[in-house]
Structure 1
Amino acid sequence: MAPILASGGGCGRVDLVLATSKSILQIAKVLSGRQTEREVKKLLRHFIVHCMLVFDQVQRIRTLLAPENELLLRALGLFESLIALDVTSNHPYGRQEGLNERWDAMRTQNTDAKFAFASHCLALDQISTLHDLDESFHAWEDDVIAKYPEDGLDCSLGDYIPPKEKRPEPSYAVHTAARSMFKALARTTSCQCCTKHDARLCLRTYRTLEIYQGDDDETNDFEMLLSSHHDWQETHVHTIRKRVVRITVDNETQSLPPPKKQLDYQPMPVKSLCDQLRKMQQMALKRLEFKVENGRLLKLRSEKSKFHIDKSQAPMSLQQFLRESPRSLTEKTKRILAILLSYAVLHLHDTPWLQPSWNSSDIFFFQTLSSKNIPLRPFIQTQLMAVQDLNDQGQDEQKPQCNADDVEFLERDPDDMDPDDLDPDVLDPDEIFTDPDNIEHPFPTLVTLAIVLMELYLAAPFDILAKNRDLYFPDNVDSRTRSLDVASVFNEYKREIPQNSQFYYVIENCLDPRTWEDDDGRNLDDQALSVRIYEQVVRPLEDELCNAFDFIKIEELDANAEKLDFRSWGQPIYQHKEETSFRGTPVSLAEGVFSNQRHDWTNINDPASSHFPIPNFVSGRHSSTDSIMKDYLQWRLKHQAVLRKFIDPFLKQPPENPTKIAVLDSGVDDAHMSLDTGQIRLKRNWTTAKKKDVADNVGHGTFTASLLIDYAPGSELFIAKIAEGIPSPPEVVAEAIRTAVDEWKVDIISMSFGYPTNQMEGYDQLEDAILYAHSKGVLLFAAASNSGANLDRAYPARNPHVICVHSTDSNGNRSKFSPTPLAQDSNLATIGEAVESAWPTKLCNIKTNSRCVQWKSGTSFATPILVGIAAFILQYARIHLPDKAYVLNRQEKMKSVLLKISDKTQQSIARDGYSYIALNLFADNLFGKSKVFIDETIGELLKR
């Protein structure tokens, strides 16, 4: 790395910050490994994290940083204050330039030389200054997140900050277009052939605004199914309207696409909908094309059908899914459905399409004829009423009717109010006495939306939720008290929905009548109501989806959501490759609809061999700008934030009883700066007669050992080299296990390897050694395998006394290479995709890879990460629950705590069949709760 000059303006200063953060990070790691003073060692670890955060944040916002950016100058000033190097330069950042240049020259030196130089680089003799700098770095990180939000999470504190992403607003025209379309369709149903005409309207965001004809008109295209005798016919309706006032959010504007060309024929007015439906029965694989213009329904030329439903299969309602298949609802499908249903209220409120009494039983999903999948494409069912009925309903809606009891209720004296009519946990009685009308929600459709959002989040029908809390409501619920009844149920489940979740925020907004009033307490008109629904309901749910799945774009949600199979955990629906696209770029089926062109991480080794399950990258090393790699770095930072909160403040000196971990692998490059932390206590080689030679010639052992240092910084490592390319025979591994148990007295054994079968010579000795370690209270972890569904778990991961580790991505989605989960097991999993760790220096090109790191994927690398999490749990218990900590060395107790971490709420289910383990400070993570709650929870789990 050539020295970076700061005199080049903003770009030079950004490069200087990045270079300095890397240099100080490496220097701090070298010093931390040999530092004996506990307080200094703790601060060095803090500065390691600070350097990582500064590098990540500055790299993220570098295009926004002007030369005199205050945050950029603050970062440079903090680094300059931390460095104690003597320099002759008079430049304000001369220390950093000198440090980077000299440290670059030290890269080829041995460890002792590096330590000697590093000892004079930082101002470690000024403890009070170091503490001040530590706090200043924290403040800097807070200010960066506040000014340049990324995903709403401050990695240093774990606090949720609402994102500020700019997004084009939806069209207000959809609401009026939907009403106009209903009226036009209703006018064609005045016939004697049947008792009713049914319509099922596809629920979409309708984000794409297209021009149909002429610059002065706009169109919204609606997709639906029409029926007069339950023979559903696919229909596509264009609505043409003059431009209307649009919703404006954040003063954003939206450019319009070029107009469509004119029709080359004359549309035909539709007099009878039944006639058109009968005619289409003779035209297989065609869909009806209509246009609504000036209140009339016009027939266009039929087109090829695009949604072939299986008419032999009854559609499934959302309520039916909730009762019969709640496990089909993943976090992704819940969030997508929440957005689609909130848009339904935005676009269809106060129209005949959305009756006040709508509920999840009115939302339907259809199985396709070709693939037999059920796309995530919801339809709402409505009856097309005659024009007179429609007019009558409109009059009724304009002037609500009250019965005698209602009038009496509204006119009674407040002193006569029955206390049983009030719920003190929902509304203030004084507020109701002052305004008795307040008991009735002004927009019942929003109350229903609150119900459905609760059902989605908790994966259960509303009546079951109420019954589980001993709440019972009559079938014919009084509309005046319905919102109070719903609020009562929500109040019972508030603890199950994290308060920083947008589900929580939106449900509260839906149920609060004051949200839907103007400043004078009057109900909002249609246009103002639409704006308020978008701001208080739709937009927060959009933000939550995009924060959880940053590769999803709301503008493309309609097209891509329907490519997910609702019944199969939101998995992609298989199509021909040329038909499946995302963001205009073809993607393979294995990558999935929302893949965002991610790399194929899983070029799996031959499963017939007994090699380590190491997936090699198809394209080798990857650019650091890859979004998945960035996801991993954020994931790791969130884990480290937990360590900083629950371990660092309570360890004023080295732990008397550190967690001891044996690493059975291919050795280690102990000269690598990332491993020179002082944590490696003993090393032994079982592959040759040279017992002290544990040099890693393949990289796998160095990679796993470095991960353990990252995720279990307070632990001691014992390196057992049992592989040179392939694992040693089972009896050799058995000997290493017994040594780790009897001589090294370890707490955990990490095994990132596997044999394809246990029917091999010497395997019975390995089984005996595993049973022996288990009987001695040693926890054993092993990689599951990387053959996907082609093979089951490898050995020894299949052994019941070993905790098998599967792999996920940074969001907990099952890795393609990870084995199929077992029906009667917990199937523990953690991140194993695009993981960064150390690589032996002799296997690296220093010029192109100065840090000597690689990015790898596999259950091999999920294993040390989960071992690190288990080590944290042991350390936490030894600090905070010392009288119960020893119980965690029993496998069933450790698994029970890991499973508790994977459960976000009492209603949580396994994601993709896996129990996903991640440490962070989110409110619905165990370690996002108060310390009292954590101690009580773990203590309860550890009761004998």
Structure 2
Amino acid sequence: MAAILASGGGCDLVDLVLATSKSILQIAKVLSGRQAEREVKKLLRHFIVHCMLVFDQVQRIRIIMVPKNDLLLRALGLFESLIALDGTSNRPYARQQRLNEHWDSIRTQNADAKFAFASHCLALDQASALHALDESFNVWEEDVMAKYPDDGLDWSLDDYSPPKERRPEPSYAVHSAARSMFKALARSTSCECCTKHDARLCLRTYRTLEVYQDHDNETNDFEMLLSSHYDWQETHIHTIRKRIVRFIVDNETQPSPPPKKPLGYKPMPVKKLCDQLRKMEQMASKRLEFKVENGRLLKLRSEKSKFRIDKRKAPMSLQQFIRGSPRSLTEKTKRILAVLLSYTVLHLHDTPWLQPSWDSSNIFFFQTLSSNIPLRPFIQTQLTVQDLNDQGQDEQKPQSNANSVEFLERDPDDLDPDDLDPDDIFTDPDDIEHPFPTLVTLSIVLMELYLAAPFDILAKNRELYFPDNVDSRTRSLDVASVFNEYKREIPQNSRFHYALEKCLDPRTWEDDGGRKLDDQALSVRIYEEVVRPLEDELCDAFDFIKIEELDATAETLDFRSWGQAIYQHEEDSSSRGTPVSLTEGTFSSQRRDWAKVNDSVSSYLPSPNFESGPYSATGSEYVAAKFYDDEKPSESHSRLEKEDYMQWRLKHQAVLRKFIDPFLKQPLENPVKIAVLDSGVDDTHFSLDTGQIKLKRNWTTAKKKDVTDNVGHGTFTASLLIDYAPDSELFIAKIAEGIPSPPEVVSQAIRTAVDEWKVDIISMSFGYPTNQMEGYEQLERAILYAYSRGVLLFAAASNSGANLDRAYPARDPHVICVHSTDSNGNRSKFSPTPLARESNLATIGEAIESAWPVKLCNTETNSRCVQWKSGTSFATPILVGIAAFLLQYTRIHLPDIAHMLKRQEKMKNVLLKISDKTQQSITRDGYSYIALNLFADNLLGKSKVFIDETIGELLKR
């Protein structure tokens, strides 16, 4: 393998097959857009799908693929035979190496240069060989699914080890610093006030070490809330420690400390903590500042509060979220909390902060004065000296003879009863006690997070019942039995699964002699076997999240609002409309990055400036006009959601291959024309370089020809239309730069689409909350005009759920309103409530993959320049694509009556017929769910004679 890597330019075989699949996919799209020969064009489309599947499948199982994996080598062989470039080099798979190198340098050039290269790099001259290759890819895909099914049951964990990255290990000194801090605080509570002193410690990774005022020392800063009279006080504590040698990765160097900064005053020793808490009761805007030095708690000068909690509102525990609001647990918040809680065990194991009996009810989240609940967990404990005394006694307790090496190494069958020491302690072999109960609890909480259900309910659902006071010797076995019941729901190839198994395996936490690990060895083992895999899982799912910045990142997310970013408007009029973080000092450096990845930002940004053009959209009545793409960020969609969508799209494409591709003539006699009213388009993206975009115009500025997409929404929508209506012609109308333009601007775009472009369909993935606004009458007249000219209009319903009804223009009777479902036709939670006595048409709008502007992508981490989105904004172009298919079908197979399908009522009737599976079918969740596939229950799964008769009857009614 080393020789292969050396000769392959440093690229391993998995990376090579991923790179090749992307290159051939892009090249095939370029060729397909200009290919005149029908049979070759059809095969190119097949290879586009094969490349997508190869990429997704290899990506899905890459962590268990060894270099000589048969499926991996077969994929490489198939790609090698498809490439026509010279491969005389001694490098393995030289054709693919050369193809990728050349395409990387060419794909950013103009369309003609790309086509010139693409036209001679694939072996497309032998039809029989191409058909055989097409079938070989089909067999490969079947074999992958057979060997590595979606649920991962046949995947071997023995092949997995946490991947080695360049991420440095955390500081293991946090553990001792937390212990010292507890001692110092507890000693300060030895007073006569008879008040219980509670503390809630903020749970963080504590990866960022700060240099304190003293040049020779470093500090771990702990944030917490302290209480004496049930009134919580924000507190910040510095723990001073001498510098220690840390793990250094490669050429990483320790940061140079800043120069000494004298305090200017002498810190005051704290004798009674409650006295300091009472003084702060009248200083709501301040936080206590302490320092722990040489075991003493010293008071520093108070500083401005950084985390203003609403003391009128009770905190919510993690258990309350899991029991009462499990939908708050998105893929992003689950993974972030898993990492933070694993760090909790890493830093706080065997300290008074983390009792063996801790669980999700001990983890709290506080509401701020701005009514947000930041993803900032705290763990609660009581400050008592007794805890310290008990712990000290436990630490000094000698090991029994039964735990000695000599005793353990003897065979029980060789023991003579007379040899037994009466002081020896024996344990029933069935009582397997986990050496570290806190890890067993962590496994419980991880299961609760992943499955979004409390542990007792998980056990009950599998008819497992445990006594309330479970003996610690059997607790780990009970938890393991629940885990075994849910293994099918946690893919075995995932690092989440790996971390769970390690937590529950007692042998992981013992040395070679069977003895429990000491503190230092335990910390290293926890990081290697639990924390790091969970870090990798998080970073793989959300590549914009950096572990070194996770503490600050998590605090900017609203747990109650599905992990959306927390923003508020500054009251200073000079910066009104600028988003700022509610947790001061944690977000300023990350604001720009989050604006790129968090869809919710768009609704808080100031109105765009259209002053350079003839129209202005700065009036307050247009602030609520919006696109309906803000359900959740790209990175929040799960792997299963993505795979379900890919399968849904493949079923649609199978219908096109059967009913459209074999009958197309080049050039098309009467292609379906679609106008896309959106935010423009990035037509340099390879997915849109198919030759389908015919005309473009900008209504937001005086530069009519510049339709550059600066927000991504229009590119995403146009690419979907290319996916679902690959033989249509697109006409791009840019009517938005951030938010949609006023209604009169949209009305002009509609009239141009009808009169000049002669389109068949108009797609509108935006809306207004009301029609009571200036200029909307013009939009209504334009819609009626298009309707009267036989143009089909589709618009997104909105993403307001039951809070608002359909938006405008989707509510207009002359427009087909599009609702959203998941891949199984279940109503999306954000889609509006269906209307009575209305045809509530819906199609998939969740976890949709499509193109994203190249300039808005980090091509190093997102080389395909795609995003995953949810919203009725994206159900709309998919349903438009289905309508375009029906128009193309009738023009090919029923030309005499095809024109009738451009009547809105006729198109609705055909779409409703597709949604009916049988004559007894009723709507699902009040929606008529539209999907194209070749199943027998679908209209397109019937014989062609039946399809033609059915459509003909519907059109002639």
Q: Tell me the TM-score normalised to structure 1 length.
A: 0.60
Residue number in structure 2 paired with 1:814: none
Does the 8 Å CA contact 1:560/1:594 hold for their aligned counterparts?
no
- The answer to whether 1:380 aligns with 2:370 is no
Q: Which amino acid aligns with 1:829?
A: G
Q: Which whole-Å deviations, capped at 9, do the CAs of 1:236-265 have from their partners, x for residues lacking one?
A: 11111223454x486685523524523222
With over 3 angstroms needed to count, the CA separation of the structure-2 counterparts of 1:211 and 1:787, relative to structure 1, is: same
Shift of 1:228: 2.2
Please say if 1:341 is aligned against 2:341. Answer: yes
Q: Secondary structure at the match of 1:222?
A: strand
Task: Find the aligned partners of 2:748 and 2:537 in 1 and give their Cα distance.
Answer: 45
Secondary structure in structure 1 of the residue aligned to 2:206:
coil
Matched, 1:793 2:802: no
- What residue in structure 2 maps to residue 277 of structure 1? 277
Cα shift at 1:644: 10
| Counterpart for residue 784 of structure 1 | 797
Call closer, same or farther: CA 1:39–1:184 in 2, change over 3 Å. Answer: same
Deviations 1:15-37 (A, max 9, x none): xx999979954662256452326
Partners of 1:806 and 1:828 within 8 A in 2: yes
Indicate how the Cα distance of structure 1 residues 258 and 720 shifts in structure 2: closer, same or farther if over 3 A, else same: closer
Structure 1 pair 136–640 and aligned structure 2 pair: CA distance change class (3 A): farther
Structure-2 residue corresponding to 1:255: 254
Matches within 5 A, 1:19-34: 24-25=27-28, 28-30=31-33, 32-34=35-37
Q: How does 1:242-391 map to 2 (within 5 A)?
A: 242-244=242-244, 246=246, 248=247, 253=252, 255-259=254-258, 261-368=261-368, 370-386=369-385, 388-391=386-389
2:832 alignment partner, one of 819, 822, 826: 822
Contact 2:719 2:850 in 1 (8 A): no
Q: What amino acid is aligned across from residue 666 of structure 1 in structure 2?
A: A
Confirm or deny: 8 A CA contact 1:217 1:241 kept in the other structure.
yes
The reply to whether residue 891 of structure 1 matches residue 901 of structure 2 is: no
Per the alignment, residue 571 of structure 1 pairs with 564
- Asked if the contact 1:210/1:257 (under 8 Å) is kept, the reply is no
Structure 2 residue aligned with 1:519: 512
Residues 377 and 562, structure 1, Cα contact 8 Å, conserved in 2: yes
Q: Distance between the aligned counterparts of 1:489 and 1:791, measured in 2? A: 43
Q: CA deviation at 1:341?
A: 1.1
- Per-residue CA deviations over 1:274-294 (Å, capped at 9, x if unaligned) read 222223334442222211111
> 1:728–1:523: structure 2 CA closer, same or farther, 3 Å change rule?
same
SS in 2 for 1:439: coil
Per-residue deviation, residues 897-934 of structure 1 (Å, max 9, x unmatched): 9x99xxxxxxxxx9xxx9x9999xxxxxxx9xxx99x9
Aligned to 2:39, the other structure's residue is in SS state coil
- Write out per-residue CA displacement over residues 828-861 of structure 1, whole angstroms, 9 at most, x where no aligned residue: 53478984599xxxxxxxxxxxxxx9x9999666
Q: Which of residues 690, 705, 723 in structure 2 aligns to 1:711?
A: 723
Let me know the Cα RMSD of the aligned residues: 7.0
Q: For residue 537 of structure 1, what is the aligned residue in structure 2?
A: 530
Partner of 1:863: 876
Aligned partners of 1:588 and 1:97: how far apart in 2?
A: 34
Deviations, residues 869-919 of structure 1 (Å, cap 9, x unaligned): 99999xxxxxxxxxxxx999543769xx9x99xxxxxxxxx9xxx9x9999
- CA 1:657 to 1:381, structure 2 compared with 1: closer, same or farther past 3 Å? farther
Of 801, 804, 815 in structure 1, the residue corresponding to residue 818 of structure 2 is 804
Q: Contact 1:792/1:820 (CA < 8 Å) preserved in 2?
A: no
Distance 2:340 2:714 in 1: 47
Contact 2:200 2:225 in 1 (8 A): yes
Question: Alpha carbons of 1:279 and 1:784: their partners in 2 closer, same or farther (altered >3 Å)?
Answer: same
- Residues 384 and 79 of structure 1: CA distance in aligned 2, closer, same or farther (over 3 Å): same
Aligned to 1:395: 393
Mapped partners of 1:593, 1:37: distance in 2: 39
In 2, distance between residues paired with 1:307 and 1:316? Answer: 16
- With over 3 angstroms needed to count, the CA separation of the structure-2 counterparts of 1:725 and 1:478, relative to structure 1, is same
Pair 1:727-2:750 in alignment: yes
- Over 3 Å counting, the alpha-carbon distance change for 1:269 and 1:376 in structure 2 is same
Q: Structure 1 pair 279/517, CA: closer, same or farther in 2 (3 Å)?
A: same
Show the counterpart of 2:436.
443
Paired with 1:38 and 1:571, the residues of 2 have a C-alpha distance of: 43
Residues 544 and 400 of structure 1, relative CA distance in 2, 3 Å threshold:
farther
1:385–1:449 distance in 2 versus 1, CA, 3 Å: same
C-alpha deviation, 1:677, in angstroms: 7.9
Check 1:649–1:478 CA distance in 2 against 1; reply closer, same or farther (3 A cut): same
Measure the CA separation in 1 of the matches of 2:479 and 2:363. Answer: 19
Q: Structure 1 residues 609 and 134 mapped into 2: Cα distance closer, same or farther (>3 Å)?
A: farther
CA shift for structure 1 position 496? 2.4
Equivalent position amino acid for 1:392 in 2: D
CA gap of 1:276–1:835, structure 2 versus 1, over 3 A, is: same
Q: Aligned to 1:196, what secondary structure does the other structure show? A: coil
CA distance in 2: counterparts of 1:26 and 1:517, whole angstroms? 55
Q: Can you give the 5+ residue segments of structure 1 that lack an aligned partner in the other structure?
A: 1-8, 57-72, 85-91, 139-158, 403-409, 416-432, 618-627, 684-695, 741-748, 774-779, 809-817, 839-852, 874-885, 901-909, 920-926, 940-944
Instruction: Tell me: CA distance 1:51–1:83, structure 2 relative to 1, closer, same or farther (3 Å).
Output: farther
- In structure 2, do the counterparts of structure 1 residues 182 and 594 end up closer, same or farther at CA, with 3 Å as the change threshold? farther
C-alpha change, 1:271 and 1:468, in structure 2 (3 Å) is: same
Structure 1 match to 2:674:
665
2:70 match: none
Distance 1:676 1:212 in 2: 56
Aligned to 1:489: 482
Query: SS where residue 436 of structure 1 aligns?
Result: coil
CA gap of 1:710–1:562, structure 2 versus 1, over 3 A, is same
Deviation track 1:731-759 (CA, whole Å, cap 9, x = no partner) reads 99xx999xx9xxxxxxxx97768797699
Q: Could you give the per-residue CA deviations for residues 108-129 of structure 1, whole angstroms, max 9, x where no partner exists?
A: 99xxxx99x9988854234687
Which of 23, 31, 36 aligns to 2:39? It is 36
* Greater displacement, 796-805 / 592-601: 592-601
Q: Kindly state the Cα deviation for residue 51 of structure 1 after the two structures are TM-superposed.
A: 13
Give yes or no for contact 1:829–1:917 (8 Å, CA) kept in 2: no
Unaligned ranges ≥5, structure 2: 1-8, 11-15, 60-75, 88-96, 139-158, 401-407, 414-425, 571-577, 611-615, 695-704, 734-745, 823-827, 836-841, 855-865, 887-909, 943-957
Aligned counterparts, 1:600-611, within 5 A: none
Partner of 2:5: none
Which of these residues, 448, 458, 464, is aligned with residue 455 of structure 1?
A: 448
Count of aligned pairs between the two proteins? 739
Q: Is the 1:213–1:261 contact (alpha carbons within 8 Å) kept by the matching residues of 2?
A: yes
Residue number in structure 2 paired with 1:476:
469
How far is 1:297 from its partner? 1.4
Match of 2:178 in 1: 178
Distance apart, 1:359 and its partner CA: 0.7
d(CA) in 2 for partners of 1:452 and 1:214? 40
Identical-residue share of aligned pairs (%):
56
Q: 2:521 corresponds to which residue?
A: 528
* Per-residue deviation, residues 292-325 of structure 1 (Å, max 9, x unmatched): 1111112222222222222222222111222222
8 Å Cα contact 1:830/1:917 also seen in 2: no
Shift of 1:384: 1.0
Report the secondary structure of 2:210's partner residue. coil
Asked if the contact 1:698/1:724 (under 8 Å) is kept, the reply is no
Query: Which residue is 1:499 aligned to?
Result: 492
After superposition, residues 829-844 of structure 1 pair within 5 angstroms as: 829-830=845-846, 835=851
Contact kept, 8 Å, 2:40 with 2:124, in 1: the verdict is: no
Give the conservation status (yes or no) of the 8 Å contact 1:82–1:130. Answer: no
Tell which deviates more after alignment, 569-578 or 262-271. Answer: 569-578
Q: Residues 355 and 445 of structure 1 are in contact (CA less than 8 Å); yes or no, is this contact kept in structure 2?
A: yes
Does structure 1 retain, via aligned residues, the 8 Å contact 2:162–2:532? no
SS in 2 for 1:218: strand
Contact 2:175 2:348 in 1 (8 A): yes
CA distance in 2, matches of 1:434, 1:190: 40
Deviation at 1:537, TM superposition (A): 1.4
Contact kept in structure 1, 2:440 and 2:479, CA below 8 Å = yes
Residues 235 and 290, structure 2, Cα contact 8 Å, conserved in 1: yes
